[in-house]
Structure 1
């Protein structure tokens, strides 16, 4: 009965979400948005979340108890699978992942409803009404094309198992964080459309929307990092980013979200760039929907893709067209109503943000074109082409370098109008650090000297710029230490968060540059006792043994490595899952400081030895540390509650300055 309970709860949530959208949007259109509509809208959001949670837990219970009478469980689980992967298998498939998507969507709507009392009533009602429309669309998608509770009779004795690539801790937690980012952008999207309908986007609106954009961007950062980390150690190819279409699908909304959080800050501070902020909010969520379409339409083949049913792809495409087309239509009709009241000089922090946003969107466009161009050509002519890493590395990295350079300078510019002499003084430490590090790399690097020197100089420029921004604000070395400490304590979380994120981005860039320019690779056919050389390491294949896991058979290779007297061993595996008839690899990785000795091996099909690929990946640890620090900066900025805007205080004098929506 548990699957039926989950199915019924989802149907009930669907019906209530329809009623909620009709009540809130109907009340807004007719001008009857009184307290009754508002109260019903808030309660409905919480009820819909509760029902969706019941539905999701029902599906998880079916997976946990291996209820193979449910088709979804039968196709994605097995009695011999470890229990933790039985549970994570709930979202390790198309139907379950979409239910998780809707659960997160209703969670955000419920939080907005519970904590949005300080928001203007009309704005809250419109935002919740648009959110409920999105919920209706996705629940309809599940109920009509992707029912996770469909029964199977007669009941099989066992299932076919979860995709082995998903039976891994990294990929088990990767989708929830990615969805928190994807779905999180639905709230800024709803705020943006609500602002267009009202014809009003002011500092109050920006302050209400900012934390939602920040938390979505932060979760998406974590999700992308986890996915990259999983691909690095699980797929055995020695890299961390392949410009796979589904990787790009998560990267594009991250880029748009990056531009969005900067634009919102300008609206909040100067009541300018309103049109930018609204358009970027629409773009970020639209690109999230594009990613959903890519994964579930069957138009691409990827290790990340879930579904290949054309009917599902058409349904998702219809949601995409309705959401994007509707929002852009409203934008075209109402954008002129978003008149900015603030002004700023071209040479100012706002001016730098305008240029930076243009660069980020240009970078996003290059990724979009590289991802979809082969699909367009296939549809138009039937010709199969591919756009790979050379295109992205040639075009995207150039734009990214210019963006990093401007980001390092922009943080040190004053708001509204920058004083030239003061700006030069602020930029001096970062410029000096960039020149010194660039010269050092140019002298000591053994190849790719010029490219490496420029790249590392940019890293120093951005990192020191982030530190200098805080140093100048607390008057470090220009005031007594006690005064600087007091100023540091008084700095808003937004300032600390921005500095941390920029510093983390610099750390990440250092890792990306290091592994891209100075990675060393050796390929060898090895038998037990053979030795191969890579980056000064002598690597011996010590032994290869067969073993059996809980639901797989494995071939484990043990290597010993030696360099300058240091000796250690490391091992990797090739696993075969008989239930699915699939193989996976577990690379042998040994961290050497901030770099990795990385070894993957293939199958001994010829009987003459195992093909082995050996990599030395310098600075690779900076990738994960940099992404983590960047995400930490997002959380710090999100936690900054600050002061409630004066307009909001006057409108709701009794409201408490709490909650996500008032941050």
Structure 2
């Protein structure tokens, strides 16, 4: 009965979505306030209905209702409760329901917190959001119903993919979807603005918080996925340019460009047409990622489904939503004339360069991801595009981008002084050059060592550069300390958010560079008592034993980690064999110093000789990847608390003092 209630709630939600996507639009066209106001209660009704469906599916998983096909195929009575709940979105149907739930949550947030939005813009935005929701509700109802029954019901389920039975993967999809789907709000605002034919500074101020929120969640989602791949797959890496990794990275790149271009619209009334186009393309790339994951045209450990019918539906939805919005853009874009003019060397110019580099990087990743698909479809043979291609074409684009990230904030709006900006960045330049030279010499002074030295030099340049920019704002060391503190207290929080986010990028660049060039790996067969030294750290193998987990059997290895004769930690990696469904997994054991990770993996027993196959890694500066991602997300949170980003926050004027302000008869 609960499952049928969930299914019925989705049907009703679809009907509400049809109403919400049409009536407010008509009302906005006619100037009918009653019809426009219908969007808000409709958004609430749709949230309650979709929330009911999601709760019904979650209940079926929690109580192990194997009469529901989705539960029977993706759960098991022996699963820990965390993975019973995360199993709700650990499959195609459930993840699609989570997607729709987040869609209606964002719409409800706009309905509740966008009270001071212009009525016509709010009505049109919620209507466009309802159109997207209606499309996905059609998708789930006709091709991916999560509430289908199974008769007779099995005694137990098949279980969740063991690779997904991990805390990182329990939270990774919701975080990723909050980012993916969050960009739908920027898309809805953009289409609503095209319908109205009006894009101005106020529109940019409305759209920036939603874009920033989506970008923050997507940053955390990508970081969680990278962290999961690092410690769960047991290969010692954190990024492989996997097609599904790229599917989340592309909207992140486009969304970053959108964030920066919206600043120019708000501050200088320029780049309006470009910003609208970016909003459309960013959400389009989110839909493209959904298509890649569900179509079966790519092979990935992250992919949910391989049903061409479902993939065709998503492709149709992508074509209608993005194609339709691009047609509207083609009609309306010529009327979106920019207001403020600016010189190439200016704050606007640096943000434009940022956009061009980000857009080029996005196109590069898109080409590398889709080229094998097109080559296969055109019978050109099987083509593999892997890390060498992406590293060769993507990394050079990041060098000028990082250089500009430190210079841009030092430039003035409209017309900047690049010589003056560089003069204030002398400390950053000096330290960056010093780090480059020292790194290059220590690495061996060869041609192959140049890129490693460049990477570390860029990280230092950006990290020191953002610190100098913040110090320059508050006149640190150029004014009394009390005045500097007062200036810091009056700075908008978005300024601190930018500093934190850019510092996070610097940490990520340092982590990527050092872990890529100075990682050490040892692969060997080890017997109990044997010691292997990796970069000055001693791994002593104590042997292996069989252990029993809640729903798996495992071989657990034991390594004593020591340095200079002093024991530091005991590492216990596992080689697991799950029973439902049958599948082996590798569980790495990691000890971190905060600056580096010591990483141990135990494999199968060696054939024809005693001992076990082991892999040992020294991973320098890998923790900086996670520090950097968290710092970027923290920058987003700090920026969101800026009063200027609070949707609908009015500026209250103080009453004039004096006789004129006195009430009559006073």
Query: What TM-score range do you get, normalising by the shorter chain?
Result: over 0.9
Distance 1:607 1:588 in 2: 26
Distance 1:8 1:37 in 2: 26
Is 1:642–2:644 an aligned residue pair?
A: yes
Which SS does the other structure have where 1:598 is aligned? strand
Structure 2 residue corresponding to 1:156, chosen from 154, 157, 160: 154
**Cα deviation, residue 562, structure 1:** 3.0
Q: 1:660 — aligned with what?
A: none
Distance 1:640 1:167 in 2: 38
Distance 2:509 2:551 in 1: 39
**Cα deviation, residue 427, structure 1:** 2.2
Are the counterparts in 2 of residues 204 and 648 from structure 1 also a CA contact under 8 Å? no
Q: How does 1:138-157 map to 2 (within 5 A)?
A: 138-157=136-155
**Cα deviation, residue 530, structure 1:** 2.9
Distance 1:426 1:311 in 2: 58
Q: Which moved more, 1:417-426 or 1:500-509?
A: 417-426
**Cα deviation, residue 298, structure 1:** 0.7
Q: 2:537 — aligned with what?
A: 537
Q: How does 1:363-442 map to 2 (within 5 A)?
A: 363-381=361-379, 383-442=381-440
Q: 2:663 — aligned with what?
A: none
Which SS does the other structure have where 1:642 is aligned? helix
**Cα deviation, residue 509, structure 1:** 0.8
**Cα deviation, residue 260, structure 1:** 0.4
Q: 1:659 — aligned with what?
A: none
Which SS does the other structure have where 1:24 is aligned? helix
Q: 1:661 — aligned with what?
A: none
Are the counterparts in 1 of residues 643 and 649 from structure 2 also a CA contact under 8 Å? no
Structure 1 residue corresponding to 2:323, chosen from 318, 325, 332: 325
- 1:236-292 CA-partner distances (Å, limit 9, x unpaired): 000000110000000000000000000001111111111121111111100000100
Distance 2:418 2:619 in 1: 42
Q: 1:654 — aligned with what?
A: none
Distance 1:370 1:351 in 2: 29
Q: 2:350 — aligned with what?
A: 352
Distance 1:27 1:649 in 2: 29
- 1:13-55 CA-partner distances (Å, limit 9, x unpaired): 1100101111022333xx2242111221111001101111111
Q: Which moved more, 1:523-532 or 1:42-51?
A: 523-532
Q: 1:15 — aligned with what?
A: 15
Which SS does the other structure have where 1:241 is aligned? coil
Q: 2:565 — aligned with what?
A: 565
Which SS does the other structure have where 1:562 is aligned? strand
Q: Which moved more, 1:77-86 or 1:597-606?
A: 597-606
Q: 1:123 — aligned with what?
A: 121
Q: How does 1:226-625 map to 2 (within 5 A)?
A: 226-381=224-379, 383-446=381-444, 448-567=448-567, 568-604=569-605, 606-608=607-609, 609-625=611-627
Distance 1:278 1:643 in 2: 19
Give the gaps of 5 or more residues in structure 1.
651-663
Cα 1:554–1:343, aligned 2, differ >3 Å: closer, same or farther?
same
Which SS does the other structure have where 1:601 is aligned? strand
Q: 1:658 — aligned with what?
A: none
Distance 2:62 2:645 in 1: 46
Q: Which moved more, 1:601-610 or 1:228-237?
A: 601-610
Distance 1:344 1:537 in 2: 56
Distance 1:145 1:639 in 2: 41
Which SS does the other structure have where 1:240 is aligned? coil
Q: Which moved more, 1:440-449 or 1:348-357?
A: 440-449
Q: 1:632 — aligned with what?
A: 634
Distance 1:598 1:566 in 2: 18
**Cα deviation, residue 77, structure 1:** 0.4
Structure 1 residue corresponding to 2:70, chosen from 69, 72, 79: 72
- 1:326-371 CA-partner distances (Å, limit 9, x unpaired): 1111111111111111111111111011111101111111111111
Distance 1:564 1:468 in 2: 40
Cα 1:382–1:577, aligned 2, differ >3 Å: closer, same or farther?
farther
Are the counterparts in 2 of residues 412 and 465 from structure 1 also a CA contact under 8 Å? no
Which SS does the other structure have where 1:195 is aligned? helix
Q: 2:656 — aligned with what?
A: none
Give the gaps of 5 or more residues in structure 2.
653-666
Distance 2:651 2:189 in 1: 19
Cα 1:85–1:185, aligned 2, differ >3 Å: closer, same or farther?
same
**Cα deviation, residue 420, structure 1:** 4.4
Cα 1:124–1:135, aligned 2, differ >3 Å: closer, same or farther?
same
Is 1:85–2:83 an aligned residue pair?
A: yes
Distance 1:517 1:647 in 2: 49
Which SS does the other structure have where 1:341 is aligned? coil
Backbone CA RMSD of aligned residues:
1.7
Are the counterparts in 2 of residues 204 and 647 from structure 1 also a CA contact under 8 Å? no
- 1:85-129 CA-partner distances (Å, limit 9, x unpaired): 111111111111100000000000011011112111111111111
Are the counterparts in 2 of residues 598 and 617 from structure 1 also a CA contact under 8 Å? yes
Is 1:211–2:213 an aligned residue pair?
A: no
**Cα deviation, residue 643, structure 1:** 8.0
**Paired residues, number:** 649
Higher relative contact order (CA 8 A, sep 6+): 1
Which SS does the other structure have where 2:572 is aligned? strand
**Cα deviation, residue 566, structure 1:** 2.7
- 1:504-535 CA-partner distances (Å, limit 9, x unpaired): 10011110101011111111122323332321
**Cα deviation, residue 159, structure 1:** 0.4
Are the counterparts in 2 of residues 204 and 645 from structure 1 also a CA contact under 8 Å? no
Distance 2:80 2:495 in 1: 45
Which SS does the other structure have where 2:472 is aligned? helix
**Cα deviation, residue 154, structure 1:** 0.7
Distance 1:485 1:593 in 2: 31
- 1:528-566 CA-partner distances (Å, limit 9, x unpaired): 233323212332221110011110000101112333223
Distance 1:601 1:381 in 2: 42
Q: TM-score, normalised by structure 2?
A: 0.95
**Cα deviation, residue 637, structure 1:** 1.1
Q: 2:664 — aligned with what?
A: none
Cα 1:65–1:420, aligned 2, differ >3 Å: closer, same or farther?
closer
Q: 2:662 — aligned with what?
A: none
